């Protein structure tokens, strides 16, 4: 068994995670600005790749065995792990973009969901935006809970409560929470212990204390939580064809409070509705 690193990092290590977080944020901001009908997911990936390279970082997705892209881009009934390529985005598509950067040996990981503008189907657009909003809100609820949580399970409960508390989706059923894919620790590797569930489990989980850095990433559907992996061996798609959404931030807990490493404002805007003010590192 390999040497097992502590899940709690020093303040100096947390500070080293700021730059890869900000590079990840810049890559996603550039992609968000480029999303429009007619662009391909491969073109969006190239935009993220350029930002990461221009900032002197590496795509940590390319460090995952067998993966050759800087982003995962998942459209409509695809929830996560979609492979960018020749797919052309249409007005009204719901698109999740997941990206990460490694810089000086430390990692950032973040995801956004965008509804492609320009659709004349207002009902579809608003249903998809609602799905994205619920998912994003649950990520912020989880991040806010991290400020006062005693155990990981407290964060999981906050995420679950936010999603189920939103009421039914446009399909008239509760939003579905993926159970086979979860959040994670992050640091020298993009994926580290511990796992962070997006729903309650019988185990209260590891202690939440300064030095913990979590990639909080709820994956939510407008219907059933059942998914399958497509023939490309990567893309995770809903079995019932309902839409999926995915939001993610890398969040650090330090002596003074929490700081969202993959948000340029440290998460101030997203955390405000929850009464939590992020505290800068260093």
CB 261 within 8 A of CB 21: yes
- Between 100 and 223, whose beta carbon lies closer to Mg ion? 100
CB 72 within 8 A of CB 87: no
- Between 111 and 134, whose beta carbon lies closer to Mg ion? 111
Angle between helices 122-146 and 152-164 (to 10 degrees): 160
| Residue selected from 215, 219, 258, 276 as contacting Mg ion according to rule CB under 5 A | 215
> In this structure, how many other beta carbons lie within 10 angstroms of the beta carbon of residue 191?
16
> In this structure, how many other beta carbons lie within 10 angstroms of the beta carbon of residue 20?
29
- Between 124 and 181, whose beta carbon lies closer to Mg ion? 181
- Between 11 and 191, whose beta carbon lies closer to Mg ion? 191
Does the footprint of Mg ion cover residue 251 (CB under 5 A)?
A: no
Residues that contact Mg ion, how many (by CB under 5 A): 6
Does the footprint of Mg ion cover residue 225 (CB under 5 A)?
A: no
Residue 59 pairs in a beta bridge with 101
Report in angstroms how near the CB of residue 163 gets to Mg ion at its nearest.
18
Site for Mg ion in 98-137 (CB under 5 A): 98, 109, 111
**Residue 19 in 3-state DSSP?**
helix
In which residue are the tokens 């998809």 written? 128
Report in angstroms how near the CB of residue 13 gets to Mg ion at its nearest.
19
Q: How far is CA 114 from CA 55, 68, 94, 178, in A?
A: 24, 23, 6, 19
Does the footprint of Mg ion cover residue 45 (CB under 5 A)?
A: no
Report in angstroms how near the CB of residue 184 gets to Mg ion at its nearest.
6
CB 265 within 8 A of CB 240: no
Does the footprint of Mg ion cover residue 93 (CB under 5 A)?
A: no
- Between 221 and 262, whose beta carbon lies closer to Mg ion? 262
Report in angstroms how near the CB of residue 244 gets to Mg ion at its nearest.
14
Tokens of 56: 């002197």
**Residues that bind Mg ion in the complex, under the rule CB under 5 A:** 98, 109, 111, 215, 217, 248
């Amino acid at each position: 068994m390999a040497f097992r690193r502590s899940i709690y990092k020093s303040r100096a290590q947390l500070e080293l995670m700021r730059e890869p977080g900000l590079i990840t944020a810049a890559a996603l901001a550039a992609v968000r600005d480029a999303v429009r009908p007619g662009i391909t997911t491969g073109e969006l990936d190239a935009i993220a790749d350029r930002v990461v390279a221009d900032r002197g970082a590496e795509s940590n997705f390319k460090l995952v065995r067998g993966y050759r892209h800087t982003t995962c881009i998942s459209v409509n009934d695809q929830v996560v792990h979609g492979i960018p390529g020749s797919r052309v985005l249409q007005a009204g598509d719901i698109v999740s973009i997941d990206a990460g950067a490694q810089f000086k040996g430390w990692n950032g990981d973040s995801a956004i969901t965008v509804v492609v503008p320009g659709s004349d189907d207002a009902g579809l657009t608003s249903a998809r935006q609602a799905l994205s909003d619920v998912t994003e809100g649950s990520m912020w609820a989880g991040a806010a809970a991290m400020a006062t949580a005693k155990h990981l399970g407290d964060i999981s409960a906050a995420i679950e409560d936010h999603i189920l508390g939103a009421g039914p989706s446009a399909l008239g059923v509760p939003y579905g929470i993926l159970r086979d894919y979860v959040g994670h620790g992050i640091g020298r590797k993009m994926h580290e212990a511990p796992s962070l569930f997006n729903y309650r489990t019988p185990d209260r989980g590891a202690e939440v204390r300064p030095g913990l850095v979590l990639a909080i990433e709820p994956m939510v559907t407008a219907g059933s939580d059942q998914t399958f992996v497509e023939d490309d061996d990567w893309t995770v798609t809903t079995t019932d064809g309902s839409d999926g959404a995915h939001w993610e931030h890398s969040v650090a807990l330090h002596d003074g409070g929490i700081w969202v490493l993959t948000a340029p404002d440290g998460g101030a805007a997203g955390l405000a509705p929850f009464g939590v003010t992020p505290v800068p590192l260093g």
